[in-house]
Amino acid sequence: MGNSMRFRQGFQGVLAVFAVLAWAIGAQAADRDKMRAFLEITGFDVAIESLQQGAMAGPGLAGTAPSDFGLQWTQLAERIFAPDEMITRALDMMEAVMPVALVDHGASFYASALGQRLVEVENAAHMAPDAEKYAEAQSILEGLVADNAPRLELFGDMNAAIGGMDNSVRSVIELQVRYLLAASRAGAIDMDISEEDLRGMFQEQAPAMRREIELYAMLNSAYAYRDLSDQELTDYVAALEQPEMRQVYEVLNAIQFEIMAERYERLAAALAKLHPQQDL
């Protein structure tokens, strides 16, 4: 689903799942079978499963290269980011906080002809090898920029409708903070800095993070939607801008973020067994 689901460190929607409960309380939550069907028809299941690929690619959060960890890292990330476990966790949270009305609204759109076409291309983009995807995406994006193509603005509108850059940056910062604090508590790294100072350090990097996230969001959109028409993308943006769909993405972004944060904290706690301590 959407750019926020495709950016693998993306980390969209810094809202914690329990914050979502504030507005969901009192609304009837959908049952588990309905949630499972929702996952499949929207492609959110593939978005969650694809988190494993990002984790196995290397511990970018720690600022070290995958080669520093080797096969041990790959095996650990594969185990901790087990797709079945992540889907179960997503279902648990969705069952608790996702009102039936939002489930029905999201499923209705993604069950349409356009919705299913979007799920098809987005799922394919999720699972495409990064080297292949971003090489082609770069070429496509350069052509769109040269032509000042209208779809560039549509990509921006799409991203704004499903969370926006501010939420993306906050999510990246929060994820990195939780990861590094967990690694420090486990003795995997020596971190002579307070949580407050750590957050401040990342806040100073926020403008650069934003530029990088914006670039990857555009690259992902250019690749995923390369075979769709401008009219199809216009219709998609219109659907995403509906208040109910914005709420759908608020919940899903929060759930995806929490799953990522939990799993990376578990990875961080296991780092001490993979490599000698390092200073931050």
Q: Which residues of 26-61 are buried (b: 16+ CB within 10 A; e: fewer)?
A: eeebbeeebbbebbebbbbbbbbbbbbbbbbebbeb
pTM of the predicted structure, to 2 decimals? 0.82
Cα-trace Rg, the chain = 19
| Structural domain count of the chain | 1
Mean pLDDT of 134-158: 95
Beta-bridge partners for 29: 99
* Secondary structure class of 216 (helix, strand, coil): helix
Residue 183's pLDDT band (boundaries 50, 70, 90)? confident
Share of residues in the chain with pLDDT > 70 (%): 82
Mean pLDDT of 99-104: 92
Share of residues in the chain with pLDDT > 90 (%): 57
Q: Pick the range with the lowest mean pLDDT from 4-18, 31-45, 61-75, 85-99.
A: 4-18
For residue 6, what pLDDT is reported?
Answer: 37
pLDDT at 63 over 80: no
Please give the residue range of the domain that contains residue 228. Answer: 2-279
Q: Return d(Cα 200, Cα 15) in angstroms, integer.
A: 19
Placement of tokens 């972004």 in the chain:
253
Q: Return d(Cα 5, Cα 107) in angstroms, integer.
A: 16
pLDDT at 277 over 50: no
Q: Return d(Cα 31, Cα 98) in angstroms, integer.
A: 9
Alpha helices in 32-129 (DSSP H): 32-42, 44-49, 51-57, 71-80, 83-97, 100-110, 113-127
